[in-house]
Structure 1
Amino acid sequence: MTAYTPPVDERAVPESAEGTRTGRRRSADAAGRGSAWLVLLLPSLVAAACVLPGLGGRQLWRDEHATWWASTLSWHDLGRLIDHIDVVFTPYYAAMHLWIAVAGDSPAMLRLPGALAMAVSAGLVGLLGRRMFAVRTGLLAGLLFAVVPAITRYGQEARPYAFATMFALLATLLLLRALDKPSLLGWTLYGLAIAGTGFSHLVAMSVLAGHLWLVWLARRRGDRIAHYAFTAAALLGLSITFPMVAQGTGQSGQIAWNVTTADDLIQFPGTLFGSWVTGGTVMALGVLGLLAAGRYSVLLAAWAVLPPVLTFVTANQLHLFLPRYLLFTIPAWTLLVAAALTRLTGRLDPQARRGTGIKVLSGVLVTAAAAGYVLAAWPAVGDAKKDLAAEPDYRGAANTIVAGERSGDGMVFNGVLSERRAMAYELRDRQAPKDVLMEWTPQQNGSYGATECDRPARCLKGVDRLWLVSTVADGRHPLTGKDAKTAAVLGKEFKATRTVRLNHVVVQVLERK
């Protein structure tokens, strides 16, 4: 017979024992806070070290020129613009309008908000991995994310994709916390994070598919209100973004140029991650990670795989299958890779107390895998900071014009690569030649494009010297594709006296005959 043991009266516990327990709790809390700061700060610092150097070195490209143009308009003109195009970027343009008023519009300053958002995203990946799996998993996932070449590429871009990644991560982290410790504040913050995700980029809201799995798991564990709270919070976020979404559906034709083919799907790993080596490695290990992610495998699979599949299947209707639109899926892939590697070391050493030999071997394997990944990815990280090979050298064109400009010169454009807007940016702080053919400005049109005069001879009257900026294909006449009436007047009344060929752009001096 087992001897009776009377219940312990907590009040009778010696003060020294109670103090010991309190000290242990405090030590555990301090250790927990320390690990959280570690997985937040170290990946953030590594990402910042990749993204911030050379932030203003690469030339802006046409999408970034659109950001500058829209964000420097007056509020009235911005309202006219989004009434016709790009309404889904309204919050980003409005925020950048305020930022430019404070920080200026140099390439580095235009890109700095996105760079900081990408650095924060790396830390959020670490926190998410720590909460889902373990400290070492979160730390590894955050560091792997930080050195993905595409993270540097789009961290150095004045577009909202870094913010979409950050808010998708923040929403997922807030959902996990709300499910663990439900509160009105927690669920409200989650709903606002969903709104932030939608305001950054609508495609990123597909992360909600994985969130549904977490809510289903919570209900299965006996949480009777999780699905109600989730529905209310999700509706809060969706209702905030609904007016923008509703208007944006009428502007979907602006991306109809994006025609997707099977080759785009084949090239997807390389274009998403910034290099084929990085993308292929991460995706291959990520598939193994699905076997190691346990109850989070469905969340991460839905997050990583579902958005590309849905956008590819609907590409002919919605035209949304673009790697930069899907940048927010990269965290899910790095979390899967980290889960696979840390599970591998756990299987090698299921009981850490058996000895240090297996522990050392596990650490060496993880370190070697991470080092090999960094070595493979690093050249592409450097390439991500270079000028885009397919983009015109507008900076060089601007320097050519400034070096040879004379008083009274005019400027004309030809091509379909936003030449007028790009040159407006590159010559924004200089004395630019007059845009002699522009009759209606983009602001008057409520668009990005100007309307050229339909009587070019009249508009060119009194101008004896022109700078032609053309982006027609190399080897063709710089006026190829120009409005026939305008091309005829230019060909009849002017002759080319100087031609400068730069990367995908030609600058010609045209003098009146």
Structure 2
Amino acid sequence: MTTAPGASVTTRPGLPGLVRSGWFLPVALATASLVVSAVRIARPSFWLDEAATVSMVQRSPAQMLDTLQHIDLVHGLYYLLLRPWAAVAGTSEVALRTPSAIALAVACVGFVLLVREVSGGRVAAVAGVAFVLLPGLSWTGIEARSYVLVVALVVWAVWALHRALRRRQRRWWVLFTVLVVLSVLVHVMAVLMVVPYLVAGRAADRLRPTAVAVAVAVAAVLPFVVATQAQVGQVSWIQIGPVELGYLVGLGQLFMGLRADSGVVQLAAAAVLALVVAALAVAALRARSGRRFAVDTAVAWVVVPTLVLALPVLAGVQLYQERYVAYAAPGACWLVGLGLTALRGPVRVRAAVGAVAVAAAAVGLVAQAGVASKNADDYRALADLAPGATSVLFATDEARGVAIAYPDRFTGITDLAAAGPWRGSGTLWGVQRPIEDLALAGRVVVYVASDPDDAHRREAEALLAAAGCRAGGSLEERRWTGTTYDCG
């Protein structure tokens, strides 16, 4: 039976109807993505970056806008969007990470729809499974930051672009342009997707209208891009050498959260996963004939944002962090789907390759669920030192993030170094008083940098020694050391 163009198709409700409607695969994979995020969402402790989110979403709009004039403008729209949610749901790990898990599931739906429309159901199924399991994407679903929202907006922008190129209707071009603008406003690094969009337009032999839409979007976000450059000093802490850069680009983006000291098993799994993805990307390139749009778009999606941000590091321009280009990972998933389905030989060969990739990815998923998996910092354990203390001393304003992330542990405890409430300070962490003027008494918990040579740490230790304070229990994390002192 055939259906006339434009005629509606009525399907029965339930699973059979969902399958016939074409929504079963994207919904099933999006649900799997949500489950992967949900089972791990509460265990990892908040860390520095997420503490910044906790800090910002608890401010009034006026306080937030005042702070964004000085720092973190690049995440400003994300904070504004998350603030109403936090006002209702709270600022626990589950509360603040749940929107990220949902956004990743929404991104998964758009990605599967895109790949199926361009490359067919088999490629979409494989690429969708890769999307669900790739640690470089799954990490964003359990991180209370803006990166996952950029992933979702970029995925749907590419989908809208494909619709515009294929259907040639103005509404798709408008939708594409709006999504590009929003993605850059959520995080400025999304502007690096401009070239992949143009590559997609060229692959479809419609470069001119694509360039016009991209130009309109760039013009709309240019003032924002310029404004964020005034705050580029806030990433002056980034110092990456050539070896670390290669490690991050080759392994870190696929295995988000991995560190050079993460352990032999995790590093080996990351290397295996990287080799499998690279091999399947080569297979996809070899099968490019007849798949020009898919292969060219996917390759540009992965390669261009990564290289544009990474290569300047070799010239001393330090802006690269793997999470800044997390939105490039869907391109890798697309190449995995294209490459695995293009492999020739017995089915068991493809099954073996897929099984190896799944096993390697599983190691990353488990590692991301560790308590201190966020940059090897466990703010929750540090905060647990505070109950029972009479006062707390943060050697730097940034260390106060521990108390901002877990305020219930600091109830009734005096913050000795705080010059005033952090919410209205126009800063992320509050303004510090000179600690040499502080009077120490009772049980004091002191948070200092883990680096013994840090000037703030030495200053705090000199103050404690002069006051005759005796050290008690101590906990050292990668970034901070917390120690209890009896100061008489």
2: CA distance between counterparts of 1:414 and 1:28? 66
Q: State the one-letter code of the partner of 1:507.
A: G
Using the TM superposition, give the Cα deviation of residue 295 of structure 1 relative to its aligned residue in structure 2, in angstroms.
Answer: 1.2
Where structure 2 has 5 or more consecutive residues not aligned to the other structure, the ranges are: 12-16, 256-269
**Aligned letter for 2:311?**
V
- Taking only the aligned residue pairs, the percentage that are identical comes to 21
Per-residue displacement from partner, 1:103-128 (whole Å, max 9, x unpaired)?
A: 11110110111111112222222112
Matches within 5 A, 1:185-334: 185-218=171-204, 220=205, 227-228=208-209, 230-267=210-247, 268-274=249-255, 275-293=270-288, 294-296=291-293, 297-315=295-313, 316=315, 318-334=317-333
CA contact (8 A) 2:55 2:429 kept: no
- For the aligned residue pairs, the C-alpha RMSD in angstroms reads 2.9
Contact between 2:448 and 2:456, CA under 8 Å: does it hold in 1?
A: no
| Equivalent residue, structure 1, for 2:126 | 140
Query: Structure 1: which amino acid aligns with 2:405?
Result: Y
Structure 1 residues 64, 260: closer, same or farther in 2, change over 3 A?
A: same
Asked if 1 retains the 8 angstrom alpha-carbon contact of 2:203 and 2:296, the reply is no
Verify the 8 A CA contact 1:214 1:299 in the aligned structure 2: yes
The residue identity in structure 1 corresponding to 2:466 is K
Counterpart among 360, 371, 383 of residue 376 in structure 1: 360
Deviations 1:189-209 (A, max 9, x none): 111110122123222232221
**Does residue 394 in structure 1 map to residue 393 in structure 2?**
no
Q: The residue matched to 1:466 in structure 2 has which SS?
A: strand
Q: Is the 8 A contact 2:385 2:484 kept in 1?
A: no
8 Å CA contact 1:277, 1:377 repeated in 2? no
Q: Aligned partner of 2:359: which letter?
A: L
Give the letter aligned to residue 434 of structure 1: T
Alpha-carbon distance in 1 for matches of 2:202, 2:5: 35
Q: Under a length normalisation based on structure 1, what TM-score does the superposition of the two structures give?
A: 0.82
Unaligned runs of 5+ in 1: 1-19, 349-360
Shift in Å at residue 428 of structure 1?
3.7
Given that 1:415 and 1:481 are in contact with CA atoms closer than 8 Å, whether structure 2 keeps it comes out as no
Cα deviations by residue, 1:22-62 (Å, 9 ceiling, x for unpaired):
38997999799837313311221221221111211110111
Larger relative contact order, structure 1 or 2 (CA cutoff 8 Å, min sep 6): 2
Determine the structure 1 residue equivalent to 2:161: 175
1:450 aligns with 2:424: no
- In structure 2, which of residues 439, 453, 459 is the aligned counterpart of residue 460 of structure 1? 439
Aligned partners of 1:266 and 1:281: how far apart in 2?
17
The yes-or-no answer on 1:498 pairing with 2:482 is no
- Structure 1 residues 52 and 455: CA distance shift in structure 2, 3 A: closer
Contact 1:168 1:205 in 2 (8 A): no
Deviation at 1:433, TM superposition (A): 1.2
SS in 2 for 1:411: strand
TM-fit CA distance, 1:307: 1.4
SS of residue paired to 1:55: coil
- CA deviations on 1:129-172 (whole Å, 9 max, x unpaired) are 11111111111101111111222222110011111111111111
Structure 1 residue 308, shift from structure 2 partner: 1.5
- Could you report, residue by residue, the CA deviation over 1:413-460 in whole angstroms, capped at 9, with x for unpaired residues? 2368x3211222212465141111222554454222433323733x42
- TM-score scaled by length of structure 2: 0.86
Tell me which residue corresponds to 1:80: 66
1:347-362 equivalences under 5 Å are: 361-362=346-347
Measure, in 2, the Cα distance between the counterparts of 1:512 and 1:33: 68
- Counterpart of 1:13 in structure 2 is none
Question: Within 2, Cα distance between the matches of 1:440 and 1:23?
Answer: 70
**SS at the partner of 2:445?**
strand
| Displacement of 1:235 | 3.8
1:97 is displaced (CA, Å) by: 0.8
Distance 1:235 1:113, change over 3 A: same
Q: In terms of mean alpha carbon deviation, does 422-431 or 50-59 score higher?
A: 422-431
Equivalent residue, structure 2, for 1:3: none
Larger radius of gyration: 1
- Structure 1 residues 431 and 231 mapped into 2: Cα distance closer, same or farther (>3 Å)? same
Q: 1:111 aligns with which of 85, 89, 97?
A: 97
Partner in structure 2 of residue 433 of structure 1: 413
Match of 1:340 in 2: 339
CA distance in 2, matches of 1:385, 1:166: 22
Render the CA deviation track for 1:370-416: whole Å, top value 9, x for unaligned. 233212221221111113355343322322321x33xxx11102368
